Amino acid sequence: MTVAAPSARGLRTREAIIDAATTLFASQGFRTASLRDIAQAAGITHPGLRRHFASKDEILLAVVDRYETETGAWADAEGLSAPAAARIAEHHRVQPGYLATFTALAGEATATQHPAHAHMRKRYADVRAASAAQFRTAQAAGDVHADHDPDRLAVQYPAAWDGLQLLELLTPDRVSVVAALHGAGERLRHPLPPLDRRTPRAARRPVALTPPEPPDMPAGYASGRARRARIVADATRLYAERGYGATSMNDVAQRVGVSKSTLFHHYPTKETLLIEVLVARDRSIGQAGGDEAASAADALRAFADTARRNAERSPGLIEVHAVLSCEASAAEHPARPYFIARYRHLLDATTDLFRTAQADGDLAPDRDPAFEAAWLIALWDGLQIQWLYDRSAVNVSEELADHLARVLPR
């Protein structure tokens, strides 16, 4: 039996569906946009859409395949020199919806139940392998200095790239993926600084490690506080598993084992519960840290220890952060203002630490504290995403420690 090839009209309709889905996934997120929304945006009926795609999962994979086909062709042609990486990032920037769609997908698909999880897990493994080979080729061509470890770069460079995309989506006035990749790529052409510089340093100043406490939850009766804590804990697990958009208040009530009226008594809207989940997550991470470091450089080096503790004690919090922060890159997501404020605070606080480290003599004078802060935050976020896909292939703490040892040699 011969299967007829799609007609030209059918191919145009299929492309229109993918175009519409790309726009909606970028603005609403994959889990929130429905098949009917996509059909309406494509100018066809819902049954008409189903003749081309049996499910939203199939559309998502078609969107991803289109992006990766285009990006793969660019990467193969351009290589990994500093100008080439910046050109690829610029190409991503001008592709309608690419940054928001890919960033949201990278976070959402960390949940093992997500339809694109296996695809994205394989993608990251392929990216690491291809990047290592490309960095070795770049070393042979003189575009990357022999001091740099291609296998380390193959993990860290794509991770930072992912994190920078999230930062640019949330704080476009503070972070440019193109500029950051160009700056980082140019550094690869030069040798690494020695791990032990043995140069005089100014007297260091102790630095607090614990971030400012988020607002306290309302006091109330002990039973009410316990129930609110249970609601937040179960909602956190659901958001990590399914994403915020696909989790209803009824889902939360069923998981907690309370009625919807009881749930709404404690949290009148879905958005208020989401914000409480985010605040509780930040509070838990903050309480895991120490009180003070001997210097700003030591406070920054402690980021690697924090990453190790998070992975050992609270992997679920890493999952919910990855899912929600990437989901919040969508323009209409209710957590977007929270994450914008959070990342602005992180950029400010981390820049201040690097600036103090520079004044102490721990950060080289030719380094830009604002750049170092953005790269470190982006690297951490990107490494966590890769770790969630394959915990045996990526060690977040070790990669952060390696990066910081080069930026802040003792």
> Rg of the chain over CA atoms, in angstroms?
23
Q: Measured between alpha carbons, how far is 36 from 238 in angstroms, rounded to an integer?
A: 25
With bands split at pLDDT 50, 70 and 90, how would you rate the model's confidence at 392? very high
Q: Does a structural domain hold residue 245?
A: yes
Q: Does a structural domain hold residue 226?
A: yes
Q: Does a structural domain hold residue 235?
A: yes
With bands split at pLDDT 50, 70 and 90, how would you rate the model's confidence at 76? low
H helices of 142-259, in order, are: 150-170, 177-187, 222-242, 249-256
Token pair for 199:
């140069």
Q: Does a structural domain hold residue 242?
A: yes
Structurally, the chain folds into a number of domains equal to: 1
- Looking at every residue in the chain, the average pLDDT score rounds to 85
Q: Does a structural domain hold residue 378?
A: no
With bands split at pLDDT 50, 70 and 90, how would you rate the model's confidence at 213? very low
pLDDT above 70: residue 5? no
- pLDDT tens per residue, range 155-180: 999 999 999 999 999 999 999 999 99
Looking at per-residue pLDDT, the higher value among 9 and 223 belongs to 9
- Which range scores top for mean pLDDT: 104-113, 284-293, 304-313, 398-407? 398-407
Closest CA to 126 of 83, 180, 71, 172: 71
Q: What is the residue range of 256's domain?
A: 222-283
With bands split at pLDDT 50, 70 and 90, how would you rate the model's confidence at 3? very low
Question: How many CA atoms does the CB half-sphere of 325 hold within 13 Å?
Answer: 31
With bands split at pLDDT 50, 70 and 90, how would you rate the model's confidence at 79? low
Q: Does a structural domain hold residue 257?
A: yes
Which residue do the tokens 């470890």 mark? 149
Q: Does a structural domain hold residue 187?
A: no
The sign of the dihedral angle between the CA atoms of 276, 281, 283, 284 is positive
Looking at per-residue pLDDT, the higher value among 404 and 316 belongs to 404
Q: Measured between alpha carbons, how far is 66 from 334 in angstroms, rounded to an integer?
A: 28
CATH of the domain at 232: 1.10.10.60
- For residue 127, the one-letter residue type is V
Q: Measured between alpha carbons, how far is 334 from 331 in angstroms, rounded to an integer?
A: 9
Looking at per-residue pLDDT, the higher value among 208 and 16 belongs to 16
Q: Measured between alpha carbons, how far is 161 from 152 in angstroms, rounded to an integer?
A: 14
pLDDT above 50: residue 223? yes
Q: Does a structural domain hold residue 37?
A: no
Q: How far is CA 221 from the centre of its chain?
A: 38
Q: Measured between alpha carbons, how far is 29 from 353 in angstroms, rounded to an integer?
A: 34
Residue 43: φ, ψ to 5°: 75, 30
Pairing mode, strands 292-293 and 207-208: antiparallel
CB 27 within 8 A of CB 330: yes
- Give the number of other Cβ atoms within 10 Å of residue 274's Cβ: 21
Question: How many CA atoms does the CB half-sphere of 267 hold within 13 Å?
Answer: 27
Lowest-confidence range among 50-54, 278-282, 368-372, 395-399? Answer: 278-282
CB 41 within 8 A of CB 24: yes
With bands split at pLDDT 50, 70 and 90, how would you rate the model's confidence at 115? confident
Residues 6+ apart with CB under 8 A from 2: none
Taking residues 360-388, report their average pLDDT.
97
199: left (phi over 0), alpha (psi -120 to 50) or beta: beta
pLDDT above 70: residue 199? no
Q: Which helix (H) or strand (E) holds 329?
A: none
pLDDT above 90: residue 314? no
With bands split at pLDDT 50, 70 and 90, how would you rate the model's confidence at 219? very low
Taking residues 67-92, report their average pLDDT.
71
pLDDT above 80: residue 78? no
Residues 6+ apart with CB under 8 A from 250: 260
pLDDT of residue 217: 43
